[in-house]
Amino acid sequence: MGTSDASSVASGRLANSPISLFLMTNTFETGGSERQFAILANSLSPDLFHLHLGCVNRRGPFAADFPDVPEFRLGGSLYGWKSIRTRLDLSRLLRQNHVQIAHAFEFYTSLILVPAARLARVPVVIGSFRQLGDLLTPAQFRVQVAAFRWCHAVICNSHAGAERLAENGISRDKLFVIGNALLPEAFAIAPPALPRRPGVLRVGMVARMNAGYKNHSGFLRIAARIHQQLPDVEFLLAGDGPLRPDFEREAQTLGLGNRVIFLGDRRDIPGVLASMDVAVLTSDSEGLSNVILEAMAAGLPVVAYNVGGNGELVNDERGALIAAGDENEFAVAVQKLLDQPALRKQQGANARRFAEETFSLGRVRRSYEELYATLLEKKGLRIPAAT
């Protein structure tokens, strides 16, 4: 199991030989996988790659940035005639564009692109594993693992994810860990979206309100514990979704009143993070959390549960990693940071430095470029010089 390190080798090796690369996403929503797809698609050098893109459904806020991406829709069943026809159409497109590398970014795209690419005899077929599989049904996880067996490589964004696949029979030789990329603006100093008020500290979380595993209820219970000791602390929740009314009622029931501020769906995340003193993540399942990475890039200490890849990001030098479900210890760790401004400052600086050194866009992009080139070379392919 290896990590593709940043290197200048790819640039020198491929400078005059663009690779025909096909990337596929499910949608253009604001989820972590979709955002990483958009970042990679927009950052790969056209001198190195002749890029082709595809999606299952061209919906979501990022769709406007990719107006010409073709859709490959599924039918009501992954195994129905429409889905089979979609794979045949996609296979034809891959052959027409002489695609050398096909890279699927999510669960559904793996089930479409992987068989289509193998049918088209694409030399290198890559899957992605960006969660832990615990949010899928057992049947879905099994079929995803089956698709990965057809891949020449599977890129995981966390070592925890790679280990889960290895435990389920995927060869470690085809597992590669490349973390999520942070855009330069994640490190920029942003003005607070909520003006600072003297004497008021803020604890915040960024998470969509569309799934129970994000555990907003746990956040609110922890907030209520802290509120009993530090009544002036404000709690920020950035994100929206169908569960929001439930959380608003829960905040009132817990006696938090106006101490919890629901910010809704935000596009100014750096400004939201600049409004906080401590960032937290109470979710029960994570691959490699973009929320944690962005908070670290903004210079915030982070308190999170020890689930998935969180332990690869958070430690006692950059915040606190808490045993899953221990709400009392979580509240104690947050309160310790609120009580000690020097500790907050030092851990925030450590977090920012770690994020910059490990997950900057340039480093992650070069990791992908190096891996793509290496996989082609393993197939014994020499890339023709550009004419």
Q: What is the pLDDT of residue 83?
A: 85
Cα(222)–Cα(206) distance, integer angstroms: 15
Take residue 318 and report the two structure tokens written for it.
């950059």
pLDDT grade for 6, boundaries at 50, 70 and 90? very low
Distance CA 184, CA 357 (A): 12
Give, in order, the Cα–Cα distances in Å from 380 to each of 4, 366, 374: 19, 21, 10
Q: Do 185-359 and 9-181+361-378 have the same topology in CATH?
A: yes
For the segment(s) 9-181+361-378, the CATH number from 3.30.565.10, 3.40.50.2000, 3.40.50.300, 3.40.50.12240 is: 3.40.50.2000
196 CB-side CA count, 13 A: 12
CB 5 within 8 A of CB 358: no
Q: What is the mean pLDDT of residues 317-338?
A: 98
Q: Which two tokens stand for residue 216?
A: 């907003």
Q: Please tell me what DSSP assigns to residue 194.
A: S
- What pLDDT shows up at residue 145? 95
User: What pLDDT shows up at residue 16?
Assistant: 55
Q: How far apart are alpha carbons 356 and 364 in whole angstroms?
A: 11
- The confidence score (pLDDT) of residue 382 equals 58
Q: Is the pLDDT of residue 7 over 50?
A: no
Alpha-carbon span 206 to 280, nearest angstrom: 8
Residue (of 126, 135, 131) closest to 161 by Cα position: 131
Dist CA 111 CA 358 (whole Å): 31
Given strand 49-55, what is the order of strands in its sheet?
A: 49-55, 19-25, 101-104, 124-129, 153-156, 175-177
pLDDT-based confidence at residue 10 (cuts at 50, 70, 90): very low
Q: What share of the chain is helix, strand, coil (3-state, %, to 5)?
A: 45, 15, 35
d(Cα 60, Cα 26) in Å, to the nearest integer?
10
pLDDT at residue 50 in the model: 94
Q: What is the mean pLDDT of residues 22-44?
A: 89
Q: How confident is the model at residue 227 (pLDDT cuts 50, 70, 90)?
A: very high
User: What CATH number should be reported for the domain whose range is 185-359?
Assistant: 3.40.50.2000
Residue 44 has pLDDT above 90, yes or no: yes
Cα–Cα distance for residue pair 373/382, rounded to 1 Å: 10
Would you say the C-alpha torsion 370, 372, 374, 377 has a positive or negative sign? negative
In angstroms, the CA 55 to CA 66 distance is 10
Q: What tens digit of pLDDT does each residue of 277-327 get?
A: 999 999 998 889 999 999 999 999 999 999 999 999 999 999 999 999 999
Cα 3–152–160 angle (5° rounding)? 40
Q: Domain ranges in the chain?
A: 9-181+361-378, 185-359
Handedness of CA 42, 43, 45, 50 (dihedral sign): negative
Q: How many CB atoms lie within 10 A of CB 341?
A: 11
Residue 203 has pLDDT above 90, yes or no: yes
Question: What is the spatial distance between Cα 214 and Cα 323, in angstroms, rounded to a whole number?
Answer: 16
pLDDT in tens, 105-148: 989 999 999 999 999 999 999 999 988 877 788 999 999 999 99
Tens digit of each residue's pLDDT (9 = 90 or more) over 68-116: 899 998 877 777 788 899 999 999 999 999 999 999 998 999 999 999 9
Report if pTM > 0.85: yes
